Amino acid sequence: MKAFINQTQDIVSESIDGLLANDKLAKLDSFPEIRVVVRKDWDKSRVALVSGGGSGHEPTHAGFVGEGMLTAAVCGDIFASPTVDAVLSAIMAVTGDAGCLLIIKNYTGDRLNFGLAVEQARALGYKVETITVGDDIALGSDVKKRGIAGTLFVHKIAGQLAAEGKPLEEVARIARLVADNTASIGLALTECQIFGREGESRLNETQAELGLGIHGEPGAEIVKYTNADQLMQLTADRLNSQLTDANAEYAILINNLGTVTPIEMNILVNAFRKTTLAKKVKYIVGPSSFMTALNMSGFSLSALKLTDEIEKALLADAEPAAWINAHRFAEPASITSPVLTEMLPYKPSENTPARSLVEKAAKAFIAIEHDINSLDAKVGDGDAGATFALASKTILSLSDKLPYKNGKELLESIGRIFSREAGGSSGVLMSIMFTGAANVYEETNDWGKALLGGLDKMKQYGGAKLGDRTMIDSLEPAFETLAQGGSLQEAANAARKGADNTKNIKKTHFGRSSYVPEELLSGIPDPGAEAMARVFESLAK
């Protein structure tokens, strides 16, 4: 597995040093033997909050050090509990007369190392309370529940109470209430891969894992991979089955376990909206990466039952940038759109040869969509064929409404369709070309000259010219042929020659090819130029 690391033994220490670009944080000077991140501004006048555990779950734990959350975080090796000395150092560094609350996730190593550190701290005279968080409901009630992303609710609520100056006993009481009323479960499409270790995946392309292990261990259950709505429904229903208070309101934390893209996380939020559990939710936190499992492609849900005091503390601002403030869980809202001019402002009219050419060109763009996308994937982003096909499908659907009898109106209408329906640079450039052509046609009443004039507008706004590996390399020779009275077949031959010539063009200053290494361009025609050549060839038949 490729990764942005140096030496595997330095991963955690270098990661912490990177985090300390935040000038409100510091590390204990026993670092790196003892990896403890603390607040620079801490004066020990209030209750301190200390948490920690194995690294690999960033931004947990150190990413939540700051006003309104943690005072210190103790960082172990990847997926390994920190040592007793590290935990004890953190307690001693931040605990004053007000005392300290130690937040422990329910894993054997954490319970042992944190527990022994607490006993040693108490023996030294420090006032320390503990809370052990076990929010993972995946394995049922017959086993000790693991501590996962619901722990962040404890950090947030307890941190706010401590910031308000509440005494240790009160902070600990509410923290335990939060832990007792938090439940979490996750689902993943892949397990995580630990740096420096290669292994075969437990999951194939048809499987997902419900009730995952965030340290690479197997989850509770293998389930069938399906669409986002169904996977979210399964996960939310399993969580909802543990929330027995029918009258309660909840906050939901939606956590990215590592490598789910932001667009997928938003889709998952929308999928959650459709579940039964969503009806009980008053606030949402996220979606964001709160407690990851390195590069796991998965998400988790954590539900917190609300009380007045919990709700108030949850909604308060917190300093750590990794925390996303809770906000109302709402249905999608809309406001009145401005009224745009009609896409087709002209009355339909008939001209059989013009209709035939327009419909034939549109069908040709649709037919070559896959081929042009595949070609574009080699030198661009793989959507050139889709852009032309999308506008062409709209043109066909509106064919009966087009003003075929009036050349200016027809060209302008096609330009409007491209501006509304086709995204990306190709769509707007085609719109500019047809709109410009409409104005020239009104003056010349000549299709070739009109299209050549529209192409000049495209070049003016787009910046590319003949020889820059763009669709212009096909369009310009074809339009010049038509403007000089040549036939469609002659225009198609000129377009084909122009498209083929782009295989030999390696150095350009405009268009997507200008961003691609020269060695990747050799022998490959420009997708836009190839698309235009094929359409002209179709029209010439």
Tokens of 158: 């307890």
Q: Please check whether residue 281 is in contact with residue 329, taking contact to mean a CB–CB distance below 8 angstroms.
A: yes
Tokens of 294: 């390195």
What are φ and ψ of residue 492, in 5° steps? -65, -40
Point out the catalytic residue in the list 57, 61, 215, 370. 215
Distance of CA 17 to the CA centre of its chain: 26
- Nearby residues of 487 by Cβ (< 8 Å), 6 or more positions away: 540
Q: Please check whether residue 158 is in contact with residue 182, taking contact to mean a CB–CB distance below 8 angstroms.
A: no
* CA–CA dist 104, 51 (Å, integer): 6
Nearest 5°: the CA angle 335, 339, 345 is: 150
* Crossing angle (nearest 10°) for helices 407-421 and 384-397: 130
Closest CA to 69 of 317, 259, 301: 317
User: Collapsing DSSP states into helix, strand and coil, what is residue 501?
Assistant: helix
- Nearby residues of 515 by Cβ (< 8 Å), 6 or more positions away: none
* CA–CA dist 537, 492 (Å, integer): 5
- Nearby residues of 164 by Cβ (< 8 Å), 6 or more positions away: none
Q: Please check whether residue 115 is in contact with residue 50, taking contact to mean a CB–CB distance below 8 angstroms.
A: no
Residue 292: count of CB within 10 angstroms of its CB:
23
Known active-site residue 327: no
- Total length of the chain: 541
What CA–CA distances, in Å, run from 225 to 214, 218, 384? Answer: 19, 16, 30
Please give the order of strands across the beta sheet that includes 221-224. Answer: 221-224, 207-210, 182-188, 298-305, 250-256, 281-288, 327-328
Catalytic (active-site) positions: 215
